[in-house]
């Protein structure tokens, strides 16, 4: 079993289930050309998120971590015409690239990008009393995942779904002695999730073109 094999299986599936698309391909090439890191979800993972959002009947989606808007396009396309994605991004350059990518995909009217520290944007959304989100995707810096999860819960309602990316980190999640802030964030999140009342949660390990990692899946029960 090797990275090369995982990547080829992802490509095989992408060829079958995720037909190539000018807007998604354009988002990846424009992001690369602008020097953004190649850390978006893979095509089959983007479709996985879109399917989860549709199964949930999501109309309001919160995303923490926009990058070039690749996952944002998948999520925006999964929504009904009146649906809305609010996506949070620290880096104005990433947000600018995302804006162009979202426009090329024709979903810019459904997406609001808020630029700034996600913790500040989440507090602002809460203070504004925005309507609850029925789907959240947490995919920004890993040291703050626990706080992003707490805000996502505050901005949710019973039945909402929260997906957290990168909860395995090539197995580093097991390393109790790790001093890596990313690993510490993921471990702190797992411990918080385990003791949070009013949620039902699991986590799934994944391999593929993005390496060995995983998603946590949370349903807000009340
Ligand atoms: N969801 C995207 C990938 C996001 S990569 C996709 O799959 O296509 C993570 C992003 O989080 C980066 O763009 C990074 O700039 C952003 N980020 C990092 N720290 C942040 C913070 N404190 N607040 C908001 N965004 C942050
Ligand atoms: C990496 C991957 C991610 O999905 C992410 O959100 C951040 C970083 C990485 O491979 O480094
Ligand atoms: Mg990620």
Q: What does the H/E/C string look like for the chain?
A: CCHHHHHHHHHHHHHHHCCCCHHHHHHHHHHHHCCCCCCCCCHHHHHHHHHHHHHCCCCEEEEECCCCCHHHHHHHHCCCCCCEEEEEECCHHHHHHHHHHHHHCCCHHHEEEEECCHHHHHHHHHHHCCCCCCEEEECCCCCCHHHHHHHHHHCCCCCCEEEEECCCHHHHHHCCCCCCHHHHHHHHHHHHHHHCCCEEEEEEEEEECCEEEEEEEEEECC
- Interval 34-58: pLDDT, tens: 999 999 999 999 999 999 999 999 9
Residues with CB under 6 A from ligand 1: 39-41, 65-67, 70-71, 88-91, 94, 117-118, 139-141
Q: How far is the CA of 8 from the centre of ligand 3 (A)?
A: 20
The CA 129 to ligand 2 mean position distance, Å, reads 31
For ligand 2, pick from 166, 185, 186, 206 the residue to mutate: most ligand atoms within 8 Å of CB. Answer: 166
* pLDDT digits 0-9 by tens, 161-189: 999 999 999 999 999 999 999 999 999 99
Kindly identify the ligand whose nearest atom is closest to the C-alpha of 143: 1
Q: The whole model's pTM is what?
A: 0.98
From the CA of 141, the nearest ligand is 1
């Amino acid at each position: 079993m090797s990275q090369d094999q995982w990547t080829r299986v992802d490509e095989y599936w992408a060829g079958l289930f995720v037909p190539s698309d000018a807007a998604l391909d354009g988002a990846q090439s424009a992001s690369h050309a602008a020097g953004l890191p190649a850390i978006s979800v893979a095509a089959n993972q983007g479709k996985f998120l879109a399917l989860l959002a549709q199964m949930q009947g999501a109309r309001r989606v919160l995303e923490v971590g926009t990058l070039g808007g690749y996952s944002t396009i998948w999520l925006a396309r999964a929504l009904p015409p009146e649906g809305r994605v609010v996506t949070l991004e620290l880096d104005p350059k990433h947000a600018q690239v995302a804006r162009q990518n979202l426009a090329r995909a024709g979903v810019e009217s459904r997406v609001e990008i808020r630029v700034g520290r996600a913790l500040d944007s989440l507090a602002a959304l809460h203070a504004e009393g925005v309507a609850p989100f029925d789907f959240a995707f947490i995919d920004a810096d890993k040291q703050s995942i626990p706080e992003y999860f707490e805000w996502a819960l505050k901005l949710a309602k019973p039945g909402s779904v929260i997906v957290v990316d990168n909860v395995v980190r090539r197995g580093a999640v097991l390393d109790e002695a790790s001093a890596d802030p990313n690993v510490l964030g993921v471990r702190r999140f797992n411990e918080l999730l385990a003791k949070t009342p009013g949620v039902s949660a699991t986590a799934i390990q994944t391999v593929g073109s993005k390496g060995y990692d995983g998603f946590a899946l949370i349903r807000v029960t009340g």
